[in-house]
């Protein structure tokens, strides 16, 4: 995977994978805060939940790295209770679908406790959930449900796209006194990038501009930011300037910088990790239409997964997932590019993907799921 800024790697920089960045963040937080502990199904597994908990059991022992049974509602509730008593639990669900069994705990207890207690209680809890495709896992193990969590007042929702943010935002989430749902696309675990070595929590403060451009504003999140960046880099070579934002934090949703960009470019494309219907992009487009309507030069567009359960077969997945060629084509349509340029761009972006996996995991991934 490329650096998120799209520039060649500086070999003098400290380069980690996203999974290594998560391990380092967890390790540093546990060293600094004795009240931080980790629990989840597979927490003690040698494979380390896609490599994101590797070595933690050996370092901190079973009292702080706790293996859980198949009882998501129970151990999530246990973590909420621990947080209320002053601990800072870090719960890991290997699939976002596993967290659905604990939604009553998350939505009615963790998210509302501070409010219903008049500010007396706080729930400093982090729920790590893994999303993303791989091994044809289909409808029940490949969903992206960030919109579901983002609709709940009292939760914070974070969607990192790169190694530096996977570390920094995880540290910021652990330091936060609110319950935070930390959503990791499993392909970002393999994305490499420069990661500062120290303990440096990042504030959960919203979007970051990755590229500057004057023709169109593009907002993406999590892994889709990497796809959008590939398209933006190719478009720049054709003289089309993309103002590209990595959303990073879905709740609280801070759009001031994005709306200022839309007012300047007059065009907006959102790229959802999950479904475009009822998605994060829908909210962003609604806000843009409401607050920058007079500046719009074209109707805003949304890209996202179709309104259909995730297919298991590779043939169906080929047309299910959004990738850089579709993003590039949508931008060309928005700016009124000539059809031949659109076709050339799609060809170029597709050629760069021919040897990349679509619905299989990264070659270094060895299971267990």
CATH of the domain at 242: 3.40.50.920
**Does one domain contain both 113 and 237?**
no
- 84 burial via Cβ count (<10 Å: 0-12, 13-18, 19+): middle
In this model, does residue 365 exceed pLDDT 50? no
Q: Is 363 a domain residue? A: no
Name the pLDDT band for 369 (thresholds 50, 70, 90). Answer: very low
Phi, psi of 361 (to 5 degrees): -70, 170
Q: Output the six-digit token pair for 163.
A: 């190694």
In this model, does residue 3 exceed pLDDT 70? no
Judge whether 244 and 229 are in contact, CB under 8 Å: yes
Name the pLDDT band for 316 (thresholds 50, 70, 90). Answer: confident
Reduce the DSSP state of residue 131 to 3 states and report it.
strand
CA atoms within 13 A on the CB side of 284: 40
User: In this predicted structure, which of 42-51, 271-280, 296-305, 359-368 has the lowest mean pLDDT?
Assistant: 359-368
Q: Return the residue matching tokens 């060629």.
A: 325
Examine the residue annotation and report whether 33 is marked as an active-site residue of this protein.
no
Name the pLDDT band for 256 (thresholds 50, 70, 90). Answer: very high
* pLDDT given for residue 137 in this prediction: 78
Average pLDDT, stretch 31-51? 93
**Does one domain contain both 59 and 189?**
yes
Name the pLDDT band for 353 (thresholds 50, 70, 90). Answer: low
**Does one domain contain both 224 and 312?**
yes
In this model, does residue 136 exceed pLDDT 80? no
Average pLDDT, stretch 241-268? 98
Average pLDDT, the chain: 91
Q: Is 280 a domain residue? A: yes
Among the listed residues 3, 24, 41, 72, the single catalytic one is 72
Q: What angle do CA 85, 86, 92 make, to 5 degrees?
A: 95
Q: Kindly report the pTM of this predicted structure.
A: 0.92
Examine the residue annotation and report whether 72 is marked as an active-site residue of this protein.
yes
Among the listed residues 41, 93, 97, 141, the single catalytic one is 141
- CB burial of 278-309 (b: ≥16 within 10 Å; e: otherwise) equals ebbbbbbbebbeeebeeebeeebbbbbbeeee
In this model, does residue 242 exceed pLDDT 50? yes
**Does one domain contain both 170 and 217?**
no
In this model, does residue 8 exceed pLDDT 90? no
**Does one domain contain both 23 and 67?**
yes
Name the pLDDT band for 303 (thresholds 50, 70, 90). Answer: very high
Q: Output the six-digit token pair for 224.
A: 């889709």
**Does one domain contain both 68 and 186?**
yes
CA distance 104 to 110: 9
- 99 burial via Cβ count (<10 Å: 0-12, 13-18, 19+): buried
């Amino acid at each position: 995977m490329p650096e998120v800024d799209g520039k060649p790697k500086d070999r003098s920089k400290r380069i980690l994978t996203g999974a290594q960045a998560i391990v380092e963040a967890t390790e540093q937080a546990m060293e600094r805060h004795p009240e931080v502990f980790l629990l989840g199904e597979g927490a003690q597994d040698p494979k380390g939940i896609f490599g994101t908990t590797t070595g933690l059991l050996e370092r901190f022992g079973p009292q702080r790295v706790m293996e859980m049974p198949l009882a998501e509602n129970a151990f999530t509730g246990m973590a909420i209770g621990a947080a209320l008593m002053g601990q800072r639990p870090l719960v890991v669900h290997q699939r976002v679908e596993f967290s659905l069994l604990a939604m009553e705990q998350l939505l009615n207890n963790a998210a509302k406790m501070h409010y219903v207690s008049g500010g007396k209680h706080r729930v400093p809890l982090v729920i790590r959930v893994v999303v993303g495709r791989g091994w044809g896992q289909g409808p029940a193990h490949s969903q992206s449900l960030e919109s579901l969590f983002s609709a709940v007042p009292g939760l914070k929702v974070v969607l990192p796209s790169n190694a530096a943010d996977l570390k920094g935002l995880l540290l910021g989430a652990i330091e936060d006194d609110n319950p935070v749902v930390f959503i990791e696309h499993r392909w970002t675990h393999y994305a490499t990038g420069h990661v500062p070595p120290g303990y440096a929590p990042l504030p959960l403060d919203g979007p970051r501009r990755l590229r500057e451009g004057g023709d169109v504003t593009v907002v993406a999140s999590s892994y889709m930011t990497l796809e959008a960046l590939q398209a933006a880099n190719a478009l720049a070579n054709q003289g089309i300037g993309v103002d590209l934002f990595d959303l990073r934090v879905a709740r609280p949703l801070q759009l001031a910088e994005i709306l200022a960009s839309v007012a300047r470019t007059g065009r907006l494309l959102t790229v959802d990790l999950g479904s475009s219907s009822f998605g994060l992009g829908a909210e962003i487009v609604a806000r843009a239409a409401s607050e920058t309507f007079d500046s719009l030069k074209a109707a805003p567009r949304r890209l996202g997964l179709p309104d259909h359960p995730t297919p298991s077969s590779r043939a169906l997945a080929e047309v299910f997932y959004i990738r850089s060629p579709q993003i590039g084509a949508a931008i060309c349509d928005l700016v009124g590019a000539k059809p031949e340029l659109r076709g050339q761009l799609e060809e170029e972006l597709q050629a760069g993907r021919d040897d990349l996996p679509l619905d299989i995991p990264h070659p270094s991934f060895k299971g267990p799921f």
